[in-house]
Amino acid sequence: MKANEDQKIIKLAILAVGGQGGGVLTNWITDVAERNGYLAQATSVAGVAQRTGATIYYVEMCPDTGRRPVFSLAPAQGDIDILIAAELMEAGRAVMRGFVTPDRTTLIASAHRIAAVSEKIEPGDGRADSPTVHKNAREAASRYICFDMEKVAVEAGSVISSSLFGALAGSGALPFARESYEETIEASGRGVKASLAAFGKAFERTVAGEDASASVQDAPRAGQGIAVAGPERLVAAWNALAARADAYPEPVRAMALAGLRKVVDYQDLAYGAEYLDRLDQALALDSAGKDHALGEAAAKHVANAMCYEDILRVADLKTRTARAERIRKEMKVGDANVLQVTEFFHPRVEEFCGTLPTGLGRFIENRPGLSKWVDRRINRGRRIRTDSLFGFGALWVIGTLRPWRRSLLRHQVEKEHLDRWYALALDTARRDYGLAVEILNCRRLIKGYSDTHARGHSKFDRVLSGLTLLEGREDAADWLRRLREAALKDEKGEMLDGALKTVATLEAA
């Protein structure tokens, strides 16, 4: 038996997303090992072009006894002592690939997310489920160290390799002193101060044993802590409306307050009252035994439906003080800098007519020749500098149209659609409460502008077209939910078509 017990090779793998600087971290780790009298070997599959894909770096090390050990060039399942994941899903991938085992692996993972393309392109919410990764990672590893190391790095003006290095040092998984890690960073010679700051912060958080994975992000709080400012008369009227919403049962109350705020901010207090009137209709049919699901769904989706996206709203949002301040903060614009902001608009005849008084808008829309003529003059990408007086002024003037919004064509169209949908939901609620809730939730399908908006509408119509097939079935609500979820999966609605076909066969069966 040749396995001499006194010598052990430490095996460390780094899973990162291409472009995260895994190479720098690898060099640091071999450097710190060599500083401590170890022999170390690093390998990577550089894949020169593979910028944003998942990559693995691998390091082996053992004390230098004067003899040359045989190191492996690639990580093997069940044979890793330390695994560093530079992104949360990469930690999941490491577990999946068998690189994390409970008998020995210290798993150091950054809790932040870099969304993969597949997560971004879904019309709905395609983001991967982080808690599942945390759960499995904790189960798979001998020790699980996880917090947002990207944030630690960015706050220190550094990059994630520094904070990962700090967490590695802090974990004590390698038998090296903190100072030798810091010497390594100092010797690297670039951005040393920021790197050391990020390193130190991550080191301390690791030693303190903070576990970000436990405090999984809570669901957003609804309607709490709204601060309102403005003329006294308006504030008093707001308070009266808010009191009305406050009297609703939970969880409708919280959602209604958020909705009320959105609607009033969008138009005015009268619009807010209109919103609450609509909600009252749903609440009249609601049931505490069903957790007020109908009221809550109505509170959410009626608010969204009433705040349709039009040019007035965009112009209003883009000319606010808060927005200017937010951009300056996000772009780190100091007093010594000047900020220029360019907006990208692409109006078409549809948007133009929507912003005209109903009669005039309809007049143009009903005449294809005229409509085309207008479109030719309007339909063009326009870049507007909102830091310039002209550009800002133009948007500000559009914003002054707000009081007349109710008389514009777009409002008529949206209102008719809303009334039809809401009436359908409330009418259904009398027969099938669950189905009504799902009808309300279908509003989620309508979003975006121009083509995207049209496609959203078409999906909405197609999903609701399933109603005739489902009506009367016990599991109608469940099926409608499935149809909606399918519609949110892809752009063209291919999943939805498949789901609708299934629903059609249900009926036949």
Partner 1 sequence: MAERSFVKEVQKLRLGAGETFHGEGILAITKALLQCGVGYVGGYQGAPISHLMDVLADAQDILGELGVHFEASASEATATAMLAASVHYPIRGACTFKSSVGLNVASDALANLASGGVTGGALIIVGEDYGEGSSIMQERSHPFAMKSQVWLLDPRPNLPSIVKAVEDGFELSEASNTPVMLMVRIRSCHVTGSFETKENKRPGMTVADALENPRRDTNRIVLPPASFLHEKEKVEKRMPAAVDFIRSRRINEFFGPDRGKAGIILQGGMYNSVIRALQRIGLADVYGETDVPLYVLNAVYPLIDDEVIDFCADKDSILIVEEGQPNYLEQAIASLMHKKGLDTRILGKDILPMAGEYTGQVMLDGISAYLRANAPELLAAQVLAPNASGENTLAADLAKVVPGRPPGFCTGCPERPIFAATKLIEKELGPHHISSDIGCHLFSIMPPFELGATTMGYGLGPASASAFNSPDAKRRSISFVGDGGFWHNGLTSSIGNAVFNQNDGVIVVVDNFYSAATGGQDVLSSRADNPTKSTQHPITDAVKGMGVKWVRHIDRTYDVTKVRAALREALTTEEKGPKVIVASSECMLNRQRREKPQTAKAISGGERVVKPRFGVDEDVCTGDHACMRLSGCPSLSVKKLDDPLRDDPVASIDHTCVGCGNCGEVADAAVLCPSFYRADVVHNPGSWDRFADRLRRRVTGFLQTRREKRRLTFGEA
Site for partner 1 in 195-254 (CB under 8 A): 217, 219-231, 234-235, 238, 254
**Strand 82-85 vs strand 10-17: parallel, antiparallel, or unpaired?**
parallel
Per CB under 8 A, does 93 bind partner 1? Answer: yes
The reply on whether position 495 binds partner 1 by CB under 8 A is no
In the complex, the smallest distance separating the C-beta of residue 208 from partner 1, rounded to whole angstroms, is 27
By CB under 8 A, tell whether 2 contacts partner 1. Answer: yes
Site string for partner 1, 443-462 (x = CB under 8 A): -x--xxxxxx---x------
Number of other residues whose CB lies within 10 A of the CB of residue 499: 22
Residue 344 found at the interface with partner 1 (CB under 8 A): yes
Q: Of 21, 35, 36, 79, which lies in the binding site for partner 1, with binding defined by CB under 8 A?
A: 79
Q: What is the DSSP letter of 249?
A: P
- Peptide bond before 251: cis, by omega within 30 degrees of 0? yes
329 touches partner 1 (CB under 8 A): no
4 in contact with partner 1 (CB under 8 A): yes
304 lies in the site for partner 1, by CB under 8 A: yes
- From residue 26, give the alpha-carbon distance in Å to each of 55, 143, 145: 12, 21, 19
Provide CB contacts within 8 A for 159, sequence distance 6+: 20, 21, 24, 153, 198
Integer Cα distance of 326 and 1 in angstroms:
67
DSSP labels for 399-453?
HTTGGGGGGBHHHHHHHHHHHHHHHHHHHHHTT-HHHHHHHHHGGGG--SSHHHH
Asked if 163 and 150 count as a contact pair (C-beta separation under 8 A), the reply is yes
Structure tokens belonging to residue 466: 């399933």
Q: Which is nearer to partner 1, 180 or 251 (CB)?
A: 251
Query: In the set 10, 95, 156, 463, which binds partner 1 (CB under 8 A)?
Result: 95
Classified as helix, coil or strand, 12 is: strand
Of the candidates 214, 322, 508, 509, which one interacts with partner 1 according to CB under 8 A?
322
Sole binder of partner 1 in the list 21, 35, 64, 69 (CB under 8 A): 69
Window 6-45: residues binding partner 1 (CB under 8 A): 7-9, 17-19, 30, 40-45
Residue 476, token pair as written in the block: 């109608």
Does residue 175 belong to the site contacting partner 1 (CB under 8 A)? no
Q: Which is nearer to partner 1, 67 or 430 (CB)?
A: 67
Query: Does residue 117 belong to the site contacting partner 1 (CB under 8 A)?
Result: yes
Backbone angles phi, psi at 89, to 5 degrees: -65, -25
| Residue 128 makes contact with partner 1 by CB under 8 A | yes
Question: Taking CB under 8 A as the rule, does residue 389 contact partner 1?
Answer: yes
Does the protein bind partner 1 through residue 381 (CB under 8 A)?
yes
Q: Which two tokens stand for residue 226?
A: 């709204």
Q: By CB under 8 A, how many residues form the interface with partner 1?
A: 149
